Structure 1
Amino acid sequence: MTTLSKEITTLLQEGTVIPAHPLVLTEVKQLDEYRQRRLTRYYLNSGAGGVAVGVHTTQFEIRKPEYGLYERVLDLAAQEIAAAALQRPFIKVAGICGHTMQAVSEAEIAVKHGYHLGLLSLGGLNEWDEDQLIGHVREVAAVIPVFGFYLQPAVGGRILSYRFWEQFAAIENVRAIKVAAFNRYQTLDVVRAVCASERGDEIALYTGNDDNIVADLLTPFSFEVNGQRKERKFAGGLLGHWAVWTHAAVSLFKDIQDCRNAGYAGCERLLQRGVEVTDMNAAIFDVAHGFHGCIAGIHEVLRRQRLMEGIWCLDPDETLSPGQSEEIDRVIKAYPHLIDDGFVHAFLNE
């Protein structure tokens, strides 16, 4: 069983920006290694505190035998992070999914390439009962520290009970949970279970609720546990939304941390920023069409910034929806303070 170092644990608990890393392809749908590496360097230079590779934003199709890209993309990102020789901790998260044999194999690959945590998706296991899922998590946690993932039902997840999250939080090597339930009731189940757990202080909470990023990060959650008040906050975010305009996201996250540390002075301004972020997310994630164009929307922003050549995906059906490009035009024009075109231009010129 691998464990986390003290410096990675501290950063994870204090909170940081973790973008979900896209996959960069050529027009003939081959891995564009040069731009894949360059995109990792963009996240490093943007000030992000980590990166998640092999996750939904990286496209689940990378695991298919005809592509066989899972280990390759993990390796490329790990190489670039090592080459950067950062003088600060940087969290490497590997996406892990599938039935137990596949998930354990992916965890072993992640450990081989120096990843700190495995973001464990339970998508595709909807026929399993919750006890089976807990057994599955334990087997993966025996290989790599687990970053739990409450995936919203709209994109392949399922409703999980409070009892499930109680059991999940009790697993020794669970070190963080990303909540992307897109439902406040389901979000409360996770936070309340972590507050009630004897291991609660060891588990960092990260928002994945792209419709509520800023408000999640500002909100203190408080519950009574055995006659005492327990309070938790979302430490940071692991987000597909933060795969774009990352330098601006890092700046916004620092403002949120400063606000929390200053007794919530200036909270009203940040809540307004949160509405703007949600509006931007609706455009890039294609909420109007049930998230159909969410990966293509991320690619489109990166293409416009010249970090990608095109919006190509392994799945030919992964494309922009009608009107999505115009919506991206609208939010870029409406919220120039939340984009980082100037930073990207300077980065590319270097």
Structure 2
Amino acid sequence: MPAALPPEVHDRLRFGAVIPAMPLALTADRRLDERRQRALCRYYAAAGAGGLAVGVHTTQFAIRDPGCGLFQPVLALAAEEFDRADARGGRPLIRVGGICGRTDQAVAEATTLRDLGYHAGLLSLSAVAGENDEARLGHCRAVAEVLPLVGFYLQRAVGGPDLSYEFWRSFAEIDNVAAIKVAPFDRYRTLDVVRAVAESGRDDIALYTGNDDAIVHDLISPYRFPVGSGWVERRFVGGLLGHWAVWTRKAVELLDACHAATSGDRPSAEVAASLLGRAAQVTDANAAFFDAANGFAGCIAGLHEILRRQGLLEGIWCLDPDEGLSPGQLDEIDRVHRSYPELNDDAFVAEHRDAWLGG
């Protein structure tokens, strides 16, 4: 029998949460900095994140390389910190692990996640990008036999395949699908996923934005479709984002504001205008962090730079020594930090950083 989500985790995932995609803390010689890796986990829990995604793009896919050998150690370290956070907080964090590769590898990674107590796997389809829908769906079903799935529509610019409405409609029929991270950076393809879920009748599949260029827009927009004799409305309830791996305390406040604005009565024009203004600021900041001007070449180093400034990381080192900030990216990060002081959580981190690093 495949693993199932614990009811409390399922409820929290459906309600909506901030789920940062965890970076990898390294020393100057590019070895795991266990002290700072643990500090990152503690930061996210203290900031109010509802979960954490480990072993995903922001954690660097190279952790799987045999010469690196960090996949299981990083997952296990995070699981230990999850246990501590759950004991302190009284309710479980949503534990998501990244799953990559062709079917044999993906099933093996899902098994590792299950054995370490992870709740769900974020399934990348990059390795089966050249297959047809039938083969891709078979791949998904095989992994779902081990662990609940978080589907993943990854943008084409970084290796994601184009996935049709028909694919997502069939994907939504897989029993062990818990959520979908929608990140094609494309409004047409985003609509394909939401409509497919709405028309499937599955109200237990949570929609999470990964559209870094439209985070707030996704979170405040109603998506309504005619289904049968009526209308079905679906909304994005949270985000599973590398962008939320930094300034996380403020991301939690932002999601709370989006939830408040979209629950109950229609939000006032003032609230709506405020959130739309914030949407532009968040997108501008994301462009700097993720190095949109250079095809996202510096996206991981950009996040590391924010965490380095806050003292959570010692440096911006990546596993690939050639990976770093792009020309002009540091100036852009300086600009958005200066322009939008209300988006950063520097004071919060400064207040608690030493405890996270020392505990």
Aligned to 1:177, what secondary structure does the other structure show? Answer: strand
Listed as ranges, the gaps of 5+ residues in structure 1 are: none
Match of 2:354 in 1: 349
Q: Are 1:172 and 2:185 matched, yes or no? A: no
Matched, 1:59 2:60: yes
Work out the CA distance in 2 between the residues paired with 1:318 and 1:50: 28
Q: Displacement, 1:202?
A: 1.4
Residue 268 of structure 1, CA deviation: 1.1
1:104 counterpart letter in structure 2: V
The 5 Å alignment of 1:327-346 reads 327-346=332-351
CA distance in 2, matches of 1:12, 1:89: 11
Residues 1:100 and 2:85 aligned together: no
Q: C-alpha distance in 1, partners of 2:117/2:341? A: 37
Equivalent residue for 1:286, pick from 284, 291, 297: 291
Distance 2:192 2:259 in 1: 24
Is residue 318 of structure 2 the alignment partner of residue 313 of structure 1?
yes
Aligned residue runs from structure 1 range 45-194, under 5 A: 45-84=46-85, 85=87, 86-194=89-197
The alignment's TM-score, normalised by the length of structure 1, stands at: 0.98
Structure 2: state its 5+ residue gaps: none
SS in structure 1 of the partner of residue 203 of structure 2: helix
User: What is the TM-score when the length of structure 2 is the normalising length?
Assistant: 0.96
1:299 is aligned to 2:301: no
Residue 237, structure 1, aligned to residue 239, structure 2: yes
Picking from 266, 275, 281, the partner of 1:270 is: 275
Q: CA deviation at 1:118?
A: 0.2
Q: Distance in 2 between matches of 1:167 and 1:339?
A: 40
Q: CA–CA distance in 1 between the matches of 2:129 and 2:50?
A: 32
Shift of 1:77: 0.6
SS in 2 for 1:201: coil
* Residues 1:15 and 2:25 aligned together: no
Q: CA deviation at 1:263?
A: 2.2
Deviates more, 1:184-193 or 1:120-129: 120-129
Q: Quick one: distance in 2 between partners of 1:221 and 1:140?
A: 29
Provide the secondary structure at the position in 2 that maps to 1:258. helix
User: Using the alignment, how far apart are the partners of 1:333 and 1:89 within structure 2?
Assistant: 36
Q: 2: CA distance between counterparts of 1:278 and 1:223? A: 27
Deviation at 1:349, TM superposition (A): 3.4
Q: Does residue 33 of structure 1 match 2:34?
A: yes
Deviation at 1:260, TM superposition (A): 1.2
249-258 vs 332-341, which moves further: 249-258
Paired AA for residue 243 in structure 1: A
Shift of 1:89: 2.7
State the alpha-carbon separation in 2 of the partners of residues 112 and 349 from structure 1: 32
Match of 2:251 in 1: 249
Aligned-partner Cα distance in 1 for 2:28–2:139: 38
1:16 Cα deviation from its structure 2 partner: 0.6
Aligned residues between the structures: 349
Deviations 1:77-119 (A, max 9, x none): 1101112212123100000010000000000000111100000
Instruction: Give the structure 2 partner of residue 216 of structure 1.
Output: 218
Letter of the 1:270 partner, please give it.
L
Q: How far 1:126 moved relative to its partner?
A: 1.8
Shift of 1:22: 0.3
- In the alignment, does 2:4 pair up with 1:3? yes
SS of the residue 2:236 aligns to: coil
Aligned Cα root-mean-square deviation (Å) = 0.8
